[in-house]
Structure 1
Amino acid sequence: MIVVAGEALIDLVPQGTGALASLRPALGGGPFNTAVALGRLGSPTAFCSRTSYDAFGEALLDGLRRDGVDVSAVQRGTEPTTLAVATVDADGSAAYSFYVDGTADRLFTAPAALPDGTRAVSFGTCSLVLEPGATAYAELMRAAAAQGVFTALDPNIRPGLIPDPDNYRARFHGWLPSVSLLKLSAEDAEWLGGTPREWLAEGPEAVVITHGGDGLTVFTQDGGEYSVPGEKVDVVDTIGAGDTVNAALLHGLSVRDALSPQAVARLGADEWTALLRFAARAAAITCSRAGAEPPYASELAGVLEGR
């Protein structure tokens, strides 16, 4: 079981151009998208979050259930659902503004225990910024790592939500001793400062950097550095692409029975290259269609095995 911990929200995606273009509500949030992508790939997955009892909250849970994600660990509240207004550039890149005051996911509390059979927990995005929930998610991350559970972190930086960047950067470094796999975009890496080698020295077994259409690179504790190019597709938008990478990496590690720091440390160049190619292909499929619509396992048949 892979547990994804973090927010589920509603993306309001513009239909057409102009400041007054109509907005289409879409299920979203980085952790939500990661959980959906894992479910579609066939990994047993559970979602750990707090959602509203409003219509948006019900739709988010229904979306998770449709793709086989266990929602029994989701807390509920009467507060409204977080909203994110997306702005999509001509090249398909998305930026967001958020409506988060008093929303349900901010009031997440750390559970007493993870679901039975948990092998890995994934964290990231707004849930690690917005208090008081951010402290609870960090507490869960540290508790999972202390129990020997594999942990993955994708900061997925949203600068507009971070009032004190220096404080956030300090908290980021405080998380790293509890992180097995760190994945972040090149833009996130630049915003955070530092280098993959510096971050590896603080705890993770591997650091994966995504470069948009130019591909992915992994840096490993033993000095390895392996890259693959991006898959060329006609990009509709990039919403959910990074979240799909998270899911593909975790799914690929699970298939290899490598969801432990020790197992990740044993992966060599061929295994990492195959894993990165799988993630690149999965992300490309997501980019080829509107919104966060990650691929199903049938769309990636044979890719993980190099066929």
Structure 2
Amino acid sequence: MIVAAGEALIDLVPQDAGSPAGAGLSPLAPRLGGGPFNTAVALGRLGSPAAFCSRISYDAFGEALLARLRAADVDVSWVQRGAEPTTLAVASIAADGSADYSFYVDGTADRLFAAPARLPDGVRAMIFGTCSMVLEPGASAYEELMRRAAAEGVFTALDPNIRDGLIRDPDAYRARFKSWLPSVALLKLSEEDARWLGGTPEEWLASGPAAVVVTRGGEGLSVLTRACGEISVPGVPVDVVDTIGAGDTVNAALLHGLAARDALSADAVAELDAGAWTDVLRFAARAAAVTCSRAGAEPPYAAEVDA
């Protein structure tokens, strides 16, 4: 089982792409989202046994989030509940489909996540990231859980998915990010994240991960490992509606592909050859393209990626 740990929230997305959100120029449609939530849904839709570890509101949005997880066959037994409201993220979609966000996070349910006393039974891998690794007190709880999972031999993945509007002290966050790397087996981030963090894949690889994957939007993605060096694949051409959830879909596709090769360990990842990595990356590129072809975070099912 692969566990996605982190926030679930509601994206408020302009119905007219390219119109500024919140300016009264386009109605906002609620979409179920949050990086870890989207990753869990994508894993379930791809056919990987998956679970979600988070704290979700009892409000109507929270019930809808849980329903989406259950519909994707995601185990929700590790979801905590709270009376606080669901976090909201207002998206602004540019003409090229890229998205920027402003957040409403004060007093919301997911911020009060508490690390469980033990890891889920049967967990093979856990993935962390996005807002949940920034907003306290939940951020410290997720960090504790990630370090504990790594110490217990669980394959850990991290997608920082930087939302700089939430990060009050960038230098402190960058230092904290570096402190996580010895506990991370797979680091995945976008080239925009890489620029913001101010490091290089080579530096991060030397700090602990067995592999570092960098996504480059429509240009494709690459992986850097000690054994194979850098391997890149192109993006899959598609008519982009928006890019919401594309990176989260890549997360799920990478983990799904590694699981299919029985490579959910740092040692197994280190032993993958260039051909195997190329296949995994191409699968992730196809999956992300499907997500980009429709509005909001709507990850594909396995049959859609294979087609």
Tell me the TM-score normalized by structure 2. Answer: 0.97
- Work out which of the residue numbers 87, 93, 115 in structure 2 matches 1:88: 93
Q: CA deviation at 1:263?
A: 0.3
Q: CA deviation at 1:300?
A: 2.1
Residue 195 of structure 1 is matched in structure 2 by 200
Cα-to-partner distance string for 1:283-303 (whole Å, 9 max, x where unaligned): 00100111111110111237x
Q: CA deviation at 1:127?
A: 0.1
Counterpart code for 2:54 = S
- Work out which of the residue numbers 170, 178, 181 in structure 2 matches 1:176: 181
Residue 8 of structure 1 is matched in structure 2 by 8
The separation in 2 between residues aligned to 1:5 and 1:276, in whole angstroms, is: 23
The reply to whether residue 121 of structure 1 matches residue 136 of structure 2 is no
The reply to whether residue 64 of structure 1 matches residue 63 of structure 2 is no
Counterpart code for 1:293 = E
Q: CA deviation at 1:114?
A: 1.6
2:185 and 2:209 in contact (8 A); partners too: yes
The separation in 1 between residues aligned to 2:151 and 2:51, in whole angstroms, is: 20
The separation in 1 between residues aligned to 2:293 and 2:14, in whole angstroms, is: 17
SS of the aligned residue for 2:74 comes to: coil
Residue 213 of structure 2 is matched in structure 1 by 208
SS of the aligned residue for 1:264 comes to: helix
- Work out which of the residue numbers 289, 292, 298 in structure 2 matches 1:293: 298
Gaps of 5+ in 1: 303-307
The separation in 1 between residues aligned to 2:293 and 2:301, in whole angstroms, is: 14
- Work out which of the residue numbers 81, 86, 95 in structure 2 matches 1:76: 81
| % identical equivalent positions | 77
2:227 and 2:271 in contact (8 A); partners too: no
The separation in 1 between residues aligned to 2:112 and 2:226, in whole angstroms, is: 36
Residue 160 of structure 2 is matched in structure 1 by 155
2:4 and 2:52 in contact (8 A); partners too: yes
Residue 25 of structure 1 is matched in structure 2 by 30
Counterpart code for 1:49 = S
The separation in 2 between residues aligned to 1:263 and 1:72, in whole angstroms, is: 29
2:228 and 2:274 in contact (8 A); partners too: no
Q: CA RMSD in A?
A: 0.8
Q: How many residues align?
A: 302
Counterpart code for 2:13 = V
For 1:30-45, what aligned pairs fall within 5 Å after superposition? 30-45=35-50
The separation in 2 between residues aligned to 1:151 and 1:218, in whole angstroms, is: 16
Counterpart code for 2:81 = R
Q: CA deviation at 1:223?
A: 5.2
Counterpart code for 2:15 = Q
For 1:127-166, what aligned pairs fall within 5 Å after superposition? 127-166=132-171
Counterpart code for 2:84 = E
The separation in 2 between residues aligned to 1:253 and 1:151, in whole angstroms, is: 12
Q: CA deviation at 1:57?
A: 0.6
The separation in 1 between residues aligned to 2:178 and 2:226, in whole angstroms, is: 17
Counterpart code for 1:10 = I
The reply to whether residue 272 of structure 1 matches residue 277 of structure 2 is yes
The separation in 1 between residues aligned to 2:251 and 2:28, in whole angstroms, is: 27
The reply to whether residue 249 of structure 1 matches residue 250 of structure 2 is no
Tell me the TM-score normalized by structure 1. Answer: 0.97
Cα-to-partner distance string for 1:227-272 (whole Å, 9 max, x where unaligned): 0000000101000000000000000000000000010000010000
The separation in 1 between residues aligned to 2:154 and 2:189, in whole angstroms, is: 20
Counterpart code for 1:266 = E
Residue 51 of structure 1 is matched in structure 2 by 56
The separation in 2 between residues aligned to 1:3 and 1:286, in whole angstroms, is: 21
Residue 305 of structure 1 is matched in structure 2 by none
